[in-house]
Amino acid sequence: MRIGVLTGGGDVPGLNAAIRAVARRAYQLGWEVMGVRKGWAGMVSGEIEPLTPDQVSGILHIGGTILGASRTNPLKRPQDMQACLDNFEKFGLDALVAIGGDDTLSVALGLYERGAKVVGIPKTMDNDVAETEYCIGFDTAVSTVVDALDKLHTTASAHHRVIVVEVMGRDAGWVATMGGLAGGADLIMIPEVPMSLEQAAEHVRRRWDRGKQFSIIVVAEGARIPEIVAKEEDLGERDDFGHVRLDRRGIGETVAREIERRTGFESRCVVLGHLQRGGSPSVFDRVLATRFGVGAVELIQVGKFGYMVALKANKIVPVPLRDALAYNRTVDLELYHLAEIFY
Q: Which residues neighbour 217 within 8 Å (Cβ) at sequence distance 6 or greater? A: 162, 163, 164, 165, 185, 186, 187, 188, 189, 200, 204, 255, 259
For ligand F6P, what does the binding mask look like between residues 150 and 189, x meaning CB under 6 A? ------------------xxx-------------------
Q: What are the residues facing 4 on neighbouring strands?
A: 34, 96
The site string for ligand F6P over 18-47 (x = CB under 6 A, - otherwise) reads ------------------------------
DSSP result, 295-324: HHHHHHHTT-TTEEEEEETTEEEEEEHHHH
Distance in Å, CB of 239 to ligand F6P, minimum: 7
Query: 306, 251, 290: which is closest to 273 by C-alpha?
Result: 251
Residue 134 C-beta: closest distance to ligand F6P, Å: 15
Q: Pairing between strand 48-50 and 32-36?
A: antiparallel
Which is nearest to 14 in space by CA: 173, 172, 179, 124?
Answer: 124
Q: CB under 8 Å to 281, separation ≥6 — which residues? A: 13, 14, 16, 17, 61, 63, 136, 137, 140, 289
Q: How far is the CB of 167 from ligand F6P (least distance, A)?
A: 8
Nearer CB in complex with ligand F6P: 97/246: 246
Closest contact distance (angstroms) between CB of 10 and ligand F6P is 4
Give the active site residue among 11, 80, 102, 126.
126
Cβ 16 to ligand F6P shortest distance, Å: 17
Binds ligand F6P by CB under 6 A, chosen from 16, 104, 124, 267 = 124
Give residue number: closest CB to ligand F6P: 168
Residue 282 is a binding residue for ligand F6P (CB under 6 A): no
CB 252 within 8 A of CB 166: yes
State yes or no: residue 295 binds ligand F6P (CB under 6 A). Answer: no
Residue 192, CA atoms < 13 Å, CB-side half-sphere: 19
Task: Between 13 and 101, name the residue whose CB sits nearer to ligand F6P.
Answer: 101
142 binds ligand F6P (CB under 6 A): no
Q: Assess 125 for contact with ligand F6P (CB under 6 A).
A: yes
Amino acid at 64: G
**Is 74 a binder of ligand F6P (CB under 6 A)?**
no
Rounded Cα distance, 297 and 304, in Å: 10
Determine which residue in the list 246, 259, 321, 339 makes contact with ligand F6P, applying CB under 6 A.
246
3-state helix vs strand vs coil in the chain, percent to 5: 45, 20, 35
Q: Nearest-CA neighbor of 251 among 266, 236, 282, 272?
A: 272
Contacts with ligand F6P, 103-122, as mask; x by CB under 6 A = --------------------
Query: Min. distance of Cβ 273 from ligand F6P in angstroms?
Result: 8
Whole-angstrom distance, CA of residue 120 vs CA of residue 117: 10
Q: Is 128 a catalytic residue?
A: no
Which amino acid belongs to residue 271? V
Candidates 25, 84, 98, 126; binder of ligand F6P (CB under 6 A) is 126
**10 interacts with ligand F6P by CB under 6 A:** yes
- List interacting residues with ligand F6P (CB under 6 A): 10, 101, 124-126, 168-170, 221, 246, 277
Catalytic site residues?
A: 126
